[in-house]
Homo-oligomer: A and B are copies of this chain.
Amino acid sequence: MPRSRKDRILPVAPVDRLIRSAGAGRVSDKGAERLAQILEEVGEYLAKRAYELTTHADRKTITDKDIELAYKQWSKSL
């Protein structure tokens, strides 16, 4: 179910700039919103996997190493 704007955590404006910096001249509002939504889903998913690695290592604070391993394992599992 698509989230409403209120629920969104990632702001759309930087995602809009990200798309333009990738070489595209123009992007519709809905296009930028959809990408922000996707990145938020990917981010939440990676954060959950990273936190599993954190607790697995008997720690409480997620570090860049946890994020890194979660990303590596995820990109191989898809």
Q: CB within 8 Å of B: which residues of A?
A: 9-11, 14-15, 17-19, 21-28, 30-31, 33-35, 38-40, 42-44, 46-48, 50-51, 54, 60-64, 66-68, 71, 75, 78
Chain B residue nearest to A59 in the complex (CB): B26
| This chain: copies in complex | 2
Chain B residues within 8 Å of A42, by CB: 39, 42
Chain B residues within 8 Å of A48, by CB: 22-23
Chain B residue nearest to A15 in the complex (CB): B43
B9 touches A17 (CB 8 A): yes
- Report the bound CA distance from A35 to B62 in whole Å: 11
A21-B44, A75-B78 known; A10+B10 contact, CB < 8 A? yes
